[in-house]
Every structure is written in C-alpha cells, then in structure tokens.
A and B are shown apart, each in its own frame.
Chain A
Amino acid sequence: MSNHLPEPEELARIHLDMSASGWMDTPAVLREGMYCHGVQGKNIEAVGMPNPRDWRVEDDDWQLPEDWHHIVMEGLKERLHRFRSLQIFMDICVRCGACADKCHFFIGSGDPKNMPVLRAELLRSVYRYDFTRAGRIMGKMVGARKLTKAVIREWWYYFFQCSECRRCSLFCPYGIDTAEITILGRELLNLLGLNIDWIGAAVAKCHHVGNHIGMEPQTFKESILFLCDDIQEITGIKIDPSFNRKGAEILFVTSSGDFYADPGIFTCMGYLMLFHQLGLDYTWSTYAAEGGNFGLFTSHEVAKLLNAKMYAEAERLGVKFILGGECGHMWRVIHQYMGTLNGPAGFLETPVSPITGTRFDHAASTKAVHICEFTSDLVHENKINLDPSRNDHLRVTFHDSCNVARGMGLLEEPRYLINKACNHFYEMPEETIRERTFCCGSGAGLHAGEDMELRMRGGYPRANAVRNVRELHDVNTLACICAIDRAAFPALMDYWVPDVRVTGVHELLGNALIMDGECERTVDLRGEELPTGPAKQSAEDVSLRNAVDIPEGA
C-alpha cells in the first residue's frame, strides 16, 4: 500500500477549480499513490508484445525505443482506419462539458485532466496536429500539439487513471466513449512497452497458466475442493465438482477473484451449492479457468489472445454452452467482444436451461449465459427454494458494475435475486445506480496496492452513495456482481464507510438456498452465526414492501 495515503477527511476536501494556466501549459506531475508500477519486461515478453524492458515510472528516462514517435504515429494512423469509434470521437466532440463532472476520478481528484473531455483531448490534440491541416498550422490555439516524450508520460498517467467505466459515454450527446479512447490510448502505449505491471503480470500469467493469479491446475482444483470442504462443514453436504470433464453439458467459467480470495470465494461457494442442488451437468476447466480478461486493459489483440481459450476449451470438452460467473469486464468481453473476437461458435448450441427448459435466445450466437440470468430463470420457475430469513442479519444495497450496466444492461436480474434471497434490500440514490452507476474506482486493472490514493479518490462517489444508505437504512452489506468490485470494495469501505461488508449476489443466494439433505444451518457461508429467533418480523417486512409495490387501484 502507498505510504502516503491521506486521511479520508483530507481526501474529501476536493477542489474542482481549474488551474490558471491552460491545460497544455500545465505539465503532468506523476504523483505517488496515483499510479501503478511500470510493467516488467518478462511480462511483456510472455505474450510477445513489443519493446520489453524493465523500467521505473520514477525514472526520467523511460527507455523508449529509438523510433518511438514513428511507432505511435503509425499506430494511431492504423487505428484511425480500423476503429470508426476513434475517428468519430476525434472529430465530433463539441466540448459541451456534459461529461466533465460525470467521471469518478475527476470528482475524487479534482484534476482537470480527469474530465473525460480532457482525457480525450490529450489524444485529440496530437491527432489534430498530425492529421488535420488547421491543427498543424494554428497549433495550440485550436487545441493541437506535437507528440513529445512529455505527452507520452501524460498519456500514461491519465490513461491509467481511467477505469473504462463508460459513465461519461452515457451522458455525452454523441455517445463519445472514453473507454474507447483509453483502450486505444493504452494500445498505443503498449506499442512502446508502457503497460502497468498489475495488468501486465496478470496477462502473462493468464496466458501461460490459465488465470490471472498463476494458479496451476492442481492448485486450482485444490482451491475449489477447499471451498467444497467449507460447504460440507456448513451444510453437511459433500460436493464433488468435476474438472476438465469431456461431455459435460455446460462449461462454467468465472473470474479468478472468485476462487482465490475473500470475499469472492463465498460467492464461489454459492455457485457450487447451487449447481450441486440442481444436479447440473457442468465442469470447471483448469485451462480456461479465468473469466476475467486483463487483455482488454492492454489491447484488443491481447484480449483476443486470452479470450480464445474459452471457446477452444468449450469445443475440446464438447459442452453445449458456456455459463459465466459474476464478473464485470469478463461480461463486457463475453457480451460485446467474444463472438467477434473468436466466434462464431458453431460447435456450441443455443443455451437451454437443463432445469427449466428456458431457451436463452438472447445468447443464441455467443452461446454464453450470465449466471444471474440463469439463476433468475430458476427462481422464477420455482426450481429452487430460498429462505431469505437466513440473510436477515444483512441489510443489503446493490452496486451495479459498470461493465454489465453500460455494456450489457444486466440490471434487473441481480435485483430480482437479491429480493428473493434477502428481506432487507435498499437502493442507493438513483443518480448512482443502474446505468448511472459509479465505478468502484479500481476497474480496468487499477486495483493494485501502490495506487491506493487513486483508488480511494476514484471510489469516493460510490462510497458516498453507500454511506447515504448506511445512514438512512443502516445498510451493512454491499452486494455486487463483479470480481474486481469484490477485490476492491473491502479497502474502499474500510476507508470511507467502515463496517460495510462486500458480497456477491450468489453468496446471498447460497446462504438462502435450501438444499436437499442439508443439516440445520447455524452459520452463513463466512462461518458467522445466523440470526436466531423467529423470522416473523422479517416476514412482515416483506409483505409491507410488497404492499408498497402494488400500484394503486390494482
């Protein structure tokens, strides 16, 4: 963790004033705590990307390759021809300012260059200078500037202070998407070997071993079995999941956050219990173990490289379709990219729930179903029994993960599940949820330790909304459907809103799930004692809540 993390009171004193000098005349100062370590050469080499070397952010010389200017210019030119998004977004911004205060990093840091419009101008200014005549002739006056090494530093600093959450894109009248700018900006930086190590290392491990944390096959299996032991202790039921099993109907993939670290593992226990109760014919894969894709935070090519394993493994194992766990950017990739990158997946079938018979036609091409869609269908068709009173010690709010909210639209399914699994659910202020949700502050590969100040600043708007429901409704649990959220939120909550725990939706479901042959549960999936006493009060709560939901005259 950064040594210089200020106290929350100090951090919250945000000044959104602009500096007196124009942004082009204000050199970027790379402040410790606000950036991650530079990528190590071996992690670049591991995936065959160019210009591997060890370099330090703090050094004056980043050891750029000799022809760095040419590399970036050619790279930019190529991308302008390949991505309509980039060309359009370079050309049509009118600087209306609607996006300015929509960015959590700007709100939390007050740094003008974190306004989405300026983040794009960092790149647009170079585009203007080298690709438009007016820019070349009139220069700074029309927002054009030469590409220099200082600009490269500035790009690096600010493209790794964007979590590609797309909130600005929702509010932009033309849909200009800073995630596209950042993704392509990072691609350009990666041409020079300028990734951050938190991403680079995860990419290298995922490519080589099969998951971001470098868990080898036997360890992966052990981790899952370890969770099964815990489940047996809590429920008395022995679960025996399969690995790399050919002929299974479903390949289940989730992100590594779910099988190696608290609190993700409790969500993973929820999956295991649900699948066991259903008698689902599914398998885990040690080879395509990782649902997350840090390639997306590196370049489209690396995203494809890592994602390719998922279909390859589905084909090898001969499954019918892929079921995906709770993860944000994993689902951005599956939903918006996977079919295009590595499809079409003719070897799979249109997903049909083996339990309910529901055909998931909306996934007819990609053949991948989100676990929340799958489980919502089960609950709706009354295929599982839930006892929400087992979650009565939890007063829950729900964080919409950026990627599934604004890159997919998975909004109701998790809410439906939470409402069925819990008696106490409270929404955060409406400007901060659903499509308008605020990022956890650590997305797009920024949830490292050394950039803790950045994370606490970026997560401030979200934390502020959690504090709001904590004060109003005594909320003590923040539910989410994203592994990066689960990895990032505990620190954020500790810092801004202490005593709020972080949970996945399927952890809540696992708690509430009534399993055949289970013993009486005395503890929840975390081993904490379940609320005792009659569940009468909570039942009243539910009926009250339902009564309110019924429209007048109905």
Chain B
Amino acid sequence: MAIVYALILVLGLVLFAWVGIQGLGMTYLFGVVFPYTAMVIFFLGVLARLLKWSRIPNPFSIPTTGGQQRSLHWIKPAGMDNPFTRGQSLLRLLSEVFLFRSLFRNLSLRLADQKPQLTFSSAKWLWLFAIFFHYALFVTLFRHLRFFTNPVPWPVNMAETLDGWLEVGIPQILVSGLILLLAVTLLLARRLLIPKLRYISLLNDYFPLFLLIGIAGTGALMRYVLGIDANSAKQLAMGLISFKPVVPEGTGPLFFVHLFLVCILLAYFPFSKLMHAGGIFFSPTRTMPNNSRAVYHQNPWNYPVNFHTYRSYENEFHDKMVEAGIPLDETAPPLNGKD
C-alpha cells in the first residue's frame, strides 16, 4: 500500500504544479516563492539536524572493528578497517562516503534445497546500484551549476563534455542523467521484487524514489523530447541566486514541474532518511578510532555508582576467608571478635 500512496503523492505534486502553472499561471509562486522557501527549509533544516546530532555525546568508544587490531609490533594491523589513529578513522569514513566500503562486503545467503546447508556468496548488486545512483546524481547536480554561474566555470563545462562521451543524439545524450534514472528505477525494482525488502519498505522509502524518478524524468523529457528554452531557465536560476528574482517567459510548464519536485525534495530532505548523507559523519561505529585501551575516552555524563566494595565483601565473608587462608585487608577493622 505504501508504494501506491507514494506514487499518488508524487503524481499529485506533479498535477499540482501543472495546474498551478498552466491553469492558474502562478509562475511567481512556483518560480520564486517555492524555491526560496525550499532552500531556506533545506539549509536551516539540515543545519538544525547536524547541530542536534553534534550536541549529543558519544559516551563510549564503540567502533565496529572490521580487521586486525593494533597490538604487537609484528602483527600487521588492518589500518583502515580497524583504525587506531584519527587519520585512519578519517580514511575509513572517506572509504564509506566515496566507495561504500561496507556495502561492498555484502554477502547473499543461499539455503540448499535438499539438505540443511547454508552457503554465502558475494553480492555486489546493491553496492553497484548505489554507486551508480549517487555518482550519477552528483554529476547531474554538478552539471546544473551551469544554470547558476556566468561565465560557466571550466570544470562544469568539462563535466558536461565528458558526460556526453557517447557522442550520440541531438541534443547530445548525457550519460549521468540516464544512469541516474536507471539506477533509481533499479533501486525501486529491488524494493518491489525482493520479498524481504518489500516487507520492510515504508512510504518514507518509496516517496523519495518516485520523487527522484519524477525529477530525472522531467529533466530528460525537457532535454530530449519536448525541449526547453535553456536561456530562460538560466535567467530564472541566475535571478534566484543573485536575489534579484525574475520570472522569464517561455520556460514552459514542464520546467516548473521539474523545479517544483526539486523544491519538494529539498524541503523533505532534512526531515527524512535522506539525512543519512550527513548522518554517516556522526555514526560512532564508523567514525571513532579503535584505540580505547590506549587513549582514555571520557563520558561527559558519567556518574558514580554504589558498587559492592571490597570492605563490605570482606565483612560478609570474613570468617570463610580466614578459614580458607585467603589474606585479608590489613586496613580493615577486626571483625566478629575472632581475630
């Protein structure tokens, strides 16, 4: 059911934008008010979330170790998977952020049909889809900088040139956008086809996927099928970024739908699971070095507890200890009058 609601929700948003522009002509609302609002929500929301997380302490040093510890000098430690220094932890974190290191470990389980037997094999599909998706998204976003800069910096131009390496189609096909659409579709297909995943998936999981399909889809439609006056789009973008908003003629309703979905994504981001992008930097099992025996780690809210002291222990077992010839604490007072 969640998937249906998510689809309806995104289609509703598309319709809302379409009617708003085509029917009611509210270009200023969709071209200026919503983008600004979404940006404000995004930046303040993300900032608030990061601040909230950063204020909560890590009371204990709890890295998950994925390899040999540093101990004796002749045993080779697994620096990145079991970091000892801050530098190594940073390396580990970067390997998670840029290479999805942990996901690369993924295994799939197989139950034998005939006899009770389990086997495991490498399963890199999720890793592959995720890498495709995130990098394609990054390149696509980076390319969009050309709408917000004048003159367009050379790296952005180069990205676009490289992105068009296929050198087919007019306008030239940009690979990142297609991979983005494909990867999001595959991630969605995974959720639908694997029973375990379907079982755990929520509206919160389907909604951003449909939203991204909507954004990438309208983007591709504009570029390859219906066409768009890119200059008008750039005019609007430059107006927004320079705080002198203008709503040029001729961008067409599809552009506003695209923009509106992006606004929704931005506004939704800080309150959703999409914050995993920031959260990974705060995840103690991945960010902390495994040096808790070498370096003292303080818990800011540590409080004393009334543990059972040796003195009261000796008080209770005094006679039995004497009888068993276990030495007593000299500083303890004589007990039971037997000493």
A residues with a Cβ closer than 8 A to B are 8-9, 12-14, 16-19, 22-23, 48, 80-85, 87-89, 91-98, 100-102, 107, 112, 115, 117-118, 121, 132, 134, 138, 141-143, 166, 169-177, 180, 207-208, 210, 216-218, 221-222, 243-246, 286-287, 300-301, 304-306, 308-309, 312-313, 316, 334-337, 339-341, 343-344, 358, 360-366, 368, 373, 376-377, 380, 405-413, 416, 429, 431-432, 434-436, 460-461, 464
Closest to B6 in A: A141
Mark out the residues of chain B between 255 and 271 whose CB falls within 8 Å of any chain A CB in the assembled complex: 271
- Who on chain A is nearest to B96 by CB? A173
Query: Do A171 and B53 contact each other (CB < 8 Å), given the known contacts A92-B279, A243-B327?
Result: no
Is B231 in contact with chain A by the CB < 8 A criterion? no
Residues of chain A within 8 A (CB-CB) of B49 are: 91
Name the residue on A nearest B204 (C-beta): A142
* With known contacts A101-B196, A376-B72, A92–B308 Cβ distance under 8 A: no
Q: Is B273 part of the binding interface, using a Cβ–Cβ cutoff of 8 Å? A: yes
Contact between B116 and A115 (Cβ–Cβ < 8 Å)?
A: no
Q: Which of B16-24, B101-109, B142-150, B159-167 contacts A (4 or more CB under 8 A)?
A: B101-109
Closest to B120 in A: A431
> A166 CA to B275 CA in the complex, in Å?
23
In angstroms, Cα B309 to Cα A112, docked, is: 45
Name 26 A/B residue pairs within 8 A (Cβ), A-sorted: A14-B111, A22-B199, A48-B306, A85-B62, A87-B53, A93-B276, A95-B200, A98-B103, A170-B105, A175-B96, A177-B62, A210-B313, A218-B321, A245-B327, A308-B307, A312-B310, A366-B293, A373-B72, A376-B72, A406-B65, A406-B66, A407-B65, A408-B290, A409-B77, A432-B120, A436-B105
State whether A8 touches B305 (Cβ < 8 A): no
Q: Are B307 and A341 in contact, with the CB atoms below 8 A?
A: no
Complex partner residue of B326 from A18, A89, A286, CB under 8 angstroms: A286
Contact at A175–B64, with CB atoms within 8 Å? yes
A409 to B289, CA, bound (A): 12
Contact A217:B120 (CB < 8 A) given known A173-B102, A406-B64: no
CA distance A377 to B74 in the complex (A): 9
Binary contact track B60-80/A, C-beta < 8 Å → 1, others 0: 111011111111101111100
Known: A312-B310, A408-B290. A100 touches B324 (CB 8 A): no
Tell me whether B5 is interfacial, beta carbon within 8 Å: yes
**Which residues from B are CB-within-8-Å of A464?**
116-118
> Given A85-B58, A411-B67, are A94 and B292 neighbors across the interface (CB < 8 Å)?
no
- The answer to whether A175 touches B309, judged by C-beta atoms less than 8 angstroms apart, is no
Return B124 CB to nearest CB of chain A, in Å. Answer: 11
- Asked if B205 and A84 sit within 8 Å, CB to CB, the answer is no
Classify the interface of chain A: helix, strand, loop or mixed: helix
A461-B105 contact, Cβ under 8 Å, with A18-B196, A336-B61: no
B77 smallest CB distance to A (angstroms):
8
Q: Which of A8, A308, A334, A363 contacts B294 (CB 8 A)?
A: A363
Known contacts: A82-B57, A304-B305. The answer to whether A435 contacts B293 by CB under 8 A is: no
Do A91 and B66 contact each other (CB < 8 Å), given the known contacts A16-B196, A340-B60? no
In angstroms, how far is the closest chain A Cβ from the Cβ of B288? 9
Bound Cα distance from A121 to B273, whole angstroms: 13
Find the residue from A180, A368, A412 having the highest chain B CB count within 10 A.
Answer: A412
Residues of B within 8 A of A376 (CB): 72, 75
**Nearest B residue (CB) for A246:** B327
Bound state CA distance, A311 and B123, in angstroms?
46
Q: Of the candidates B198, B200, B299, which one forms a contact with A121 in the assembled complex, judged by CB atoms under 8 Å apart? A: B200
Kindly state whether residue B298 has any CB partner on chain A within 8 Å.
Answer: yes
Identity of the chain A residue whose Cβ is nearest the Cβ of B111 in the assembled complex:
A14
Chain B residues with CB below 8 A from A88, complex form:
53, 279, 282-284
List B residues 292-324 near A (Cβ within 8 Å).
292-299, 301-302, 305-310, 313-314, 317, 320-321, 323-324
Give the residues in chain B near A461, CB-CB below 8 Å. Answer: 118
Inter-chain CA distance A134–B328, complex, in Å, is 62
Note all chain B residues with C-beta closer than 8 A to A377: 72
- Please, which residue of chain A has its CB at the minimum distance from the CB of B287? A175
Q: Are B296 and A343 neighbours in the complex by a CB distance under 8 Å?
A: yes
Given contacts A18-B195, A362-B294, contact A141 B284 (CB under 8 A): no
